[in-house]
């Protein structure tokens, strides 16, 4: 493992690249920034969308036993009272009387004093207050009234809308146990100390499944979902040896869980959680049934039995996974340039499925109308199928480097062979250059969409 200075330097380079190339920006940066909130730029938005689309494809579209939901962000206060969030969703907080910073009391040793970032508050002798509970939820009012009945919250997790809509989804989708309800959406937590770039934020997105089952199947399905989720990360380009599984011990699990695995990734700033796979038993459906006075049950037509389903919850952090993809992709190497000299190359080695731009299209020279026209034809051929970037500015080698730095896996160059000026042998072909190996091969234009699609399978 690299030393801490090396890992810190790597993270600084990643953060710099994210802003320079349009992956991630600080929210409201021109006004000093909104701490714990981030805006995804053109490339970041594409990367995040690719991840969400692939997650949905694998977990909803390709499965008959999982259906989708898109719940509202504003949440009825009674929902969160029943779930235990109102009055029970908080973290211990301490303030420093010296530097005026605020820290989570249970993570003081992991945090850094703003006056001396090389030390934690205890090492720096900060004068800390006694711990007190800090409400993590964002509270608001709905409508013109401001009385207690108008109180609502920005949801702190996406799970609760799935639980309260269980019966509606069951009746309209005609699913049989075991089955799941999937959702991708925003959640909000008023974190005491957002940190590590986008890893811990106040506004974030979850990719979550509540998989309903019989109680006797819960633990087995929890183990099966753990393996399925690890396989998913491998499919998107995060190797298994960078993933760690924490079997969360008794006393450290959430109150509703009888079994929880945390899937963790080795970030430059340390091993941190990407996803939790939790066996929530029948806690949630029972609580909402009791609080609403409307029991939430499943009727088994075969056995004529009524039961409250148990649930296994694979819950992934979308923003954390995007950050893991960026950290895993980032690479620097020394290569031999066009003039035979060694030069540095920064390359984002995204799995082609996740890459924001799939193909760069270049005319060899921008002052040759026939090359430009053919290059635009190639772009028009690919654009309905994938995100393509057209570039005619600068030397081809420099254009390759720009695409390397944003992670484009393929570049197609239209040259004089393409338009038949050097003979008919290669007419109608382009030079396709691979990002990782930098190897080049000739591909027929008509076969180019299938060629790239095959590489992304």
| Pure H helices in 57-98 | 77-83
Confidence of residue 91 (pLDDT cuts 50, 70, 90): low
For position 1, what pLDDT does the model report? 41
Strand ranges, E, within 115-258: 132-135, 138-141, 151-154, 179-188, 203-213, 243-247
CATH topology of domain 4-75+157-326: BirA Bifunctional Protein; domain 2 (3.30.930)
Q: Which two tokens stand for residue 454?
A: 């095959």
CA distance between the termini of the chain? 32
Please give the average per-residue pLDDT across 410-421, as a whole number: 95
| Residue 411: per-residue pLDDT | 98
Between the alpha carbon of residue 279 and those of residues 233, 251, 257, the distances in Å are: 20, 15, 5
Beta strand pairing call for 243-247 and 203-213? unpaired
pLDDT tens string 48-85: 999 999 999 999 999 999 999 999 999 999 999 999 88
Please state, as a whole number, how many other Cβ atoms lie within 10 Å of the Cβ of residue 353: 18
Whether the predicted pLDDT of 232 surpasses 60: yes
- Taking residue 245's Cβ as centre, other Cβ atoms within 10 Å add up to 13
Nearest CA to 201 among 215, 186, 211, 214? 186
CA trace torsion 418, 419, 422, 425 (10° rounding): 60
Cβ proximity of 46 and 357 under 8 Å: yes
pLDDT surpassing 90 at residue 107? no
Q: Which residue has the higher pLDDT, 21 or 116?
A: 21
Are 207 and 184 spatial neighbours (Cβ–Cβ below 8 Å)? yes
Residue 103 CA from chain centroid, whole number:
26
- At 15 the pLDDT is 96
User: How high is the pLDDT of residue 118?
Assistant: 65
Tell me the average pLDDT of the chain: 91
pLDDT of amino acid 229: 98
What's the confidence (pLDDT) of residue 143? 82
| C-alpha closest to that of 352 among 413, 396, 411 | 411
DSSP 105: G
Domain boundaries, the chain: 4-75+157-326, 357-455
Among 124, 129, 98, 100, residue whose Cα is nearest residue 111: 124
CA 444/CA 457 separation, integer angstroms: 20
229 contacts 43 by C-beta, under 8 angstroms:
no
Question: pLDDT grade, residue 195 (50/70/90)?
Answer: confident
Are 90 and 84 a contacting pair, CB within 8 Å?
no
Say which residue the tokens 């929530």 belong to: 280
Q: Is the pLDDT of residue 338 over 50?
A: yes
- State residue 131's pLDDT score: 73
More confident residue, 96 or 404: 404
pLDDT of 373 strictly over 70: yes
pLDDT tens-digit map of 242-260: 999 999 999 888 888 999 9
How far apart CA 109 and CA 124 sit, in angstroms, is: 11
User: What mean pLDDT do residues 17-23 have?
Assistant: 96
Residue 236 has pLDDT above 50, yes or no: yes
Question: Residue 158 pLDDT > 80, yes or no?
Answer: yes
- pTM for the model stands at 0.89
| Dihedral over Cα of 45, 181, 252, 246: its sign | negative
Per-residue pLDDT averaged across 212-235, rounded?
98
Q: Is 15 helix (H, G, I), strand (E, B) or coil?
A: helix
The b-or-e profile of 198-232 (16+ CB within 10 A means b, else e) is bbbbbbbbbbbbbbbbeeebbeebbeebbeebbeb
For the chain, what percent of residues have pLDDT higher than 90? 75
- 200 forms bridges with which residues in the sheet? 195
According to DSSP, residue 249 is labeled P
Supply the pLDDT for residue 116: 67
Across the range 419-423, mean pLDDT stands at 88
Q: In whole angstroms, what is the distance from residue 400 CA to residue 236 CA?
A: 23
Please state, in angstroms and rounded to a whole number, the distance separating the CA atoms of residues 440 and 218: 51
Main-chain dihedrals φ then ψ at residue 448, nearest 5 degrees: -60, -45
Given a contact cutoff of 8 angstroms between Cβ atoms, the answer to whether 102 and 193 are in contact is yes
| CATH code for the domain defined by 357-455 | 3.40.50.800
């Amino acid at each position: 493992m690299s030393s801490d200075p090396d890992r810190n330097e790597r993270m600084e380079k990643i953060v710099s690249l994210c802003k320079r190339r349009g992956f991630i920006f600080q929210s409201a940066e021109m006004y000093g920034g909104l701490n714990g909130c981030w805006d995804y730029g053109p490339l970041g938005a594409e990367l995040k969308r690719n991840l969400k689309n692939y997650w949905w494809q694998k977990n909803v579209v390709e499965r008959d036993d999982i259906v989708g939901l898109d719940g509202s962000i504003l949440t009825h206060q009674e929902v969160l009272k029943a779930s235990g969030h109102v009055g029970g969703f908080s973290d211990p907080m301490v303030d420093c009387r010296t530097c005026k910073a605020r820290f989570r009391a249970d993570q003081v040793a992991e945090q850094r004093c703003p006056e001396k970032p090389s030390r934690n508050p205890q090492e720096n002798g900060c004068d800390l207050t006694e711990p007190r509970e800090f409400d993590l939820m964002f509270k608001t009012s709905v409508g013109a009234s401001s009385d207690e009945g108008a109180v609502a919250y920005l949801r702190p997790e996406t799970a609760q809308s799935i639980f309260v809509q269980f019966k509606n989804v069951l009746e309209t989708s005609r699913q049989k146990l075991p089955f799941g309800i999937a959702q991708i959406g925003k959640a909000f937590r008023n974190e005491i100390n957002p940190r590590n770039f986008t890893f811990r934020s106040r506004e974030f997105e979850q990719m979550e499944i509540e998989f309903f089952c019989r109680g006797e199947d819960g633990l087995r399905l929890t183990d099966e979902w753990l393996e399925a989720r690890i396989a998913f990360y491998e499919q998107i380009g995060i190797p298994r040896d960078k993933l760690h599984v924490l079997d969360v011990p008794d006393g450290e699990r959430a109150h509703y869980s009888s079994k929880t695995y945390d899937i963790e990734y080795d970030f430059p700033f340390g091993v941190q959680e990407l996803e939790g796979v939790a066996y929530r038993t029948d806690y949630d459906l029972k609580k909402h049934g009791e609080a609403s006075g409307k029991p939430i049950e499943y009727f088994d037509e075969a056995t004529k039995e009524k039961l409250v389903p148990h649930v296994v919850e694979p819950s992934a952090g979308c923003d954390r996974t995007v950050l893991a993809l960026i950290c895993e992709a980032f690479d620097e190497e020394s290569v031999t340039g066009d003039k035979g000299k060694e030069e540095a190359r920064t390359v984002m080695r995204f799995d082609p499925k996740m890459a924001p731009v799939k193909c760069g299209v270049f005319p060899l020279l921008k002052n040759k109308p026939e090359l430009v026209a053919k290059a635009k034809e190639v772009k028009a051929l690919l654009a309905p199928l994938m995100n393509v970037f057209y570039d005619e500015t600068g030397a081809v080698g420099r254009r390759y480097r720009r695409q390397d730095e944003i992670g484009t896996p393929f570049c197609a160059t239209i040259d004089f062979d393409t338009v038949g000026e050097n003979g008919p042998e290669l007419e109608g072909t382009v030079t396709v250059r691979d990002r990782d190996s930098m190897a080049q091969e000739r591909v027929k234009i008509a076969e180019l969409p299938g060629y790239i699609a095959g590489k992304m399978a």
